[in-house]
Structure 1
Amino acid sequence: MQYDVIIIGGSYAGLSAAMPLARARRRILVVDEGLRRNRFAAHSHGFLTQDGNAPGAIASQAREQVMAYETVEWLTGKAVAVALTARGFRIEIEGEEPREARRLIFAGGVVDQLPEIPGLAERWGSRVFHCPYCHGYELQQGRIGVIATSAMSMHLALLLPDWGRTTLFLNQAFEPDAEQLAKLAARGVTLEREPVRAVEGELDLVLRDGRVISLDGLFVPTRIDVASSLPESLGCEFDEGFYGRIIRTDAMKATSVKGVYACGDAARMGGSVPLAVGDGTLAGAAAHQSLIFDSH
């Protein structure tokens, strides 16, 4: 069976991409592994009408609304290979028959790579975060930490005093120069050079010298990588940023490969739910219009 569009990834971006296509009565297939990036977080913030709701509940409601359209199909599984065909694209799905489509949208998100500090990963999404706009307000002007992963961690450290008393743990990632030290001082950021040995308790940072610094929230600028290897295997170009690689797209979310679109965190540096939703809507509308105006 030939679909108009296959969407790989059924979280916020993928479901948003599906909506304009479904409303255009195009036959689409959403393939999803069920690994939302924010699956570890109890609440989602900053998305109008959904502020404070559980991320899973938002995704579940979105899926229910998209699946109400009769031309949409859903497949829980992992897309493992993709190839060009005379009519578009052929997708190999683990344990399933191959599927084909005229257009392809990658919305599979990214993987966060945390520093290898014992106890850090276990608190990811509950006490350890990456986005102050998503999680900073709930810390109620409390004690906040930033574990540096590169010199770009300065950006986050300078933002965070608006949300609470901030300590920057350099963790041997870099050493601020005189200008950077002056900026940190102007924002009231405390500097800690002793490396972090472990994270224990609610959020107790145990330093190498044995000191313990207790916090209300901890932010870590993670290194990211696109979750799926398929965009690269298909020949999509990437952009390298300070925090990792993302799929290169134009203003309408088209990749460097004709007929292929990408949206959400995999195609935007600095992801959030509202940005993923907006990106997905653009990608879905662009894919639909390409079916009408572009030959393949």
Structure 2
Amino acid sequence: MIGDGFGVGWYDNETSKESRITPCIFTSVTPAWNNTNLVRLAEKIKSPLVFAHVRASTSGAVTEANCHPWNYGRIMWMHNGGIAQFDKLKRKLVNSLPEKLFLFVQGSADSEWAFALFLSFLANPDADHFEHQELKEAMIKTIHQLNTWAEELGITEPSLLNFAVTDGDSVVCVRYISSKTEEAASLYFSSGTRFECYRPGHYRMIKADRREDMVVIASEPLTFEKADWLTIPTNNIMVITPKLNVLLQPIKDKYYSIDRGLDIKVGDEDVRIPEPMAQLLKAQTEDQLLSHGGTATSLVT
């Protein structure tokens, strides 16, 4: 099991309009499943937006300073993956930062330094409000800059850059690897009205009146109901707007590959659904095929 620390960040459900919105964050280097304080907090906290992270160290010591998520003002950030050969790349990253963001970093993890780089691409990281488009553009610039430095330094090992950021209203996350052929670390999402327990330990997503009252993004499905979870395709960026609209599009850089997509087999024929809509259309397409008397199987390629 992974046990190099964990963190939970959330926004207060009752923050007054006069107060500056900033997230609450609880971190620990103990395993999440063995932390009594986490259980006590989870029983009492109500929040419209929660980030949670369990750490397996790839860069930086096992300390609370290196536990995700981090925040800067109202912005919260976490990362699953690792920046390849970060020790070689770190000097370029550090030298690119304004002094305020350089001094902001308290730990040694590549993920926190990537957060500082992301903040440097915002017009004003201390702002009280961010449009989701600005967060998305800063995310794409962060990935592009890391790739540029890796290329300048001759680093060919792929970086795994599953980043997630929020300002408390919008969420931007990315499933990304700096490779045309390899798959990024997994990432899934589920949306609907609520999770319902239908027998002890088993939950399913309920979609009452086809409303989207919640969106859950996770590295692995959190329930046994596979039909409730859709895969975010490799090298795609997802935006959840304040109105819970889900926007998904590919990152069309040097590692973009049109060959990534979904094959639907109907009888002896293969039907290709290209990215970025492959996984989003998967369930709908299979339902339509089956309703017309066909059989459908799928394979991500």
**So what's the TM-score if we normalise by structure 1?**
0.26
Larger radius of gyration between Structure 1 and Structure 2: 1
